[in-house]
Structure 1
Amino acid sequence: MTAVIDPTVPLTAPVNLRDLGGIEVAGGTLRAGVAIRADDLTTVTEEVADQLVAGGLRAVVDLRSTAELDLTGRGPLGTRAAVTYHHVPFLADIGAAADIDALDQHAFGHMYLRMYERASAQIVTALAVIAHAPGAVAFHCAAGQDRTGVLAASLLLALGANREAIVADYARTGPNSAAIMARIGPMMTPLLRRFGFDLDDAARAALREEFSDAPMREFLDGLVERHGDPLAPLHDAGLTEGLISRLRERALGE
């Protein structure tokens, strides 16, 4: 799969893409050009794909479900020889997240904790890609908020970033919320309807108040309360000190 499968899914520029460079971690500052988080990169334009590759992108980690991938394919970046593609789904299907009371961003903290615990092996796999890629790695889900937010937090935890730095990065998605909903609508609407959700209703619920950083705070608190060491589930899933050292080498340019 290299191209968009469903012609009704438009190719557009991402609206929630950012390099994690500049975030303070243990021993220094995460350098630019290592880890990029984003909303859906399979539906970017050819121009955006060219710009990302020219900027040093060498690997993409797609955190979406198989159903989402089946709809879009790998997109324009999938045709770039310089870029490797890694499908590392954090949820078996998009409905796995639909057993919360509502698709309301303010209530997502428990979902993040459950995802972190259940997808710990996938998180370690994604971290290994970031650790060993020859250039920048971009990871994405659909909105670049939830699955992407959990992986960003995992990376920053492994690098020794403090709680407030992790929360601040998560909160940067807030101003992009309306644009995100508009961009992912053509793909997510039919998928969510399979599980009894209407994206228009979900969007109104999510945007009825300002974006909240509470879910990330709840997630980080839950990790400490349940495990003591927030990295314990990842260590159990194969996160080694060697992999953390390699991540630090990449992050700090050591």
Structure 2
Amino acid sequence: MTVVDAPAIALSAPVNLRDLGGIPVAGGAVREGFAIRADDLSIVTEEDAARLVAAGLRAVVDLRSSDEVALTGRGPFGALADVTYHHVPFLASIGDGIDDIELDQSSFAGMYVRMFEGAAAQIVTALAIIAYTPGTVAFHCAAGQDRTGVLAAAILLTLGAEPDDIVADYARTGENAAAIMRRIAPIMQPLMARYGLDLDDAARAAARAEFSPAPMRGLLGALTTRHGDPLAPLRAAGLTDALIGRLRERALAA
């Protein structure tokens, strides 16, 4: 099923899409067109999809759970032969861990740590796709904040970015928080309601507080404290020096 077959779902431009290009890493800075992070790409307009492909997009890594994908399918990208689609869910179900999630975004560090460690094999899979795709790779979840933020952190850690630069990239999502909530609410509200979470409550909580960089700082600090090398969980799940080298080569190549 694709989103085109579901007229109740309105297509719209992404509101939390950005290129990782320009972020300082070991040996230089990430080049433009290496990887882009985004909110839900399954509900983009056909025009937006075509623009991304024209700019060099060749693969989409969908980090959403199977229950989310069942609602929208792949969207317009599913019909484009030039783009490969990879479903690499960081959660088996959107309901996983919901009982542990408070509505305060500043409290999400523990969730990020559990995700980084628990989905380490999926993170390595996503890194391999990014490393070997001959073109731009876009990765996304629903909001482009949590699962997408964890993968962005993994990419940047692998490339040798400093913690402050990883946190700064994460914090940019705060500029888009209200627009993200408006865009994803029609899809996520009924889905979250299945698990007893009211997205309206989450939106009101987000509106009352500034977006906090604390969860990403907490993730990076916890990885160092628990493992010494923050990449240790990924190395245990199959991240090799060869893959790291390939990622760095692709990220820094002119």
TM-score (norm 2): 0.98
2:139 counterpart SS class: strand
Determine if contact 2:2/2:72 at 8 Å carries over to the other structure.
no
Q: Deviations over 1:105-143 (max 9, x none)?
A: 111000000000000000000000000001000000000
Which residue pairs with 2:66 in the alignment? 66
User: How far is 1:160 from its partner?
Assistant: 0.3
- RMSD over aligned Cα atoms: 1.0
Quote the Cα distance in structure 2 between the aligned partners of 1:112 and 1:142.
Answer: 15
Which region of structure 1 is more displaced relative to structure 2, 181-190 or 200-209?
A: 200-209
Which residue pairs with 1:210 in the alignment? 210
Which residue pairs with 1:41 in the alignment? 41
Which residue pairs with 1:251 in the alignment? 251
Which residue pairs with 2:221 in the alignment? 221
Quote the Cα distance in structure 1 between the aligned partners of 2:233 and 2:244.
Answer: 14
Determine if contact 2:43/2:75 at 8 Å carries over to the other structure.
yes
Which region of structure 1 is more displaced relative to structure 2, 144-153 or 198-207?
A: 198-207
TM-score (norm 1): 0.98
Counterpart AA for 2:195: F
User: How far is 1:89 from its partner?
Assistant: 0.1
Corresponding pairs, count: 254
User: How far is 1:225 from its partner?
Assistant: 1.0
User: How far is 1:78 from its partner?
Assistant: 1.1
CA 134–221 in structure 1, closer or farther in 2 if over 3 Å, else same? same
Determine if contact 2:23/2:29 at 8 Å carries over to the other structure.
yes
Quote the Cα distance in structure 1 between the aligned partners of 2:97 and 2:45.
Answer: 28
Task: Report 1:1-254 matches (<5 A).
Answer: 1-253=1-253
Identity percentage over the alignment?
Answer: 69
1:161 counterpart SS class: coil
CA 135–146 in structure 1, closer or farther in 2 if over 3 Å, else same? same
Quote the Cα distance in structure 1 between the aligned partners of 2:183 and 2:193.
Answer: 17
Counterpart AA for 2:245: S
1:92 counterpart SS class: coil
**Unpaired segments of 5 or more residues in structure 2?**
none
Which region of structure 1 is more displaced relative to structure 2, 200-209 or 155-164?
A: 200-209
**Unpaired segments of 5 or more residues in structure 1?**
none
Which region of structure 1 is more displaced relative to structure 2, 216-225 or 200-209?
A: 200-209
2:44 counterpart SS class: coil
Determine if contact 2:39/2:144 at 8 Å carries over to the other structure.
yes
Counterpart AA for 1:108: F
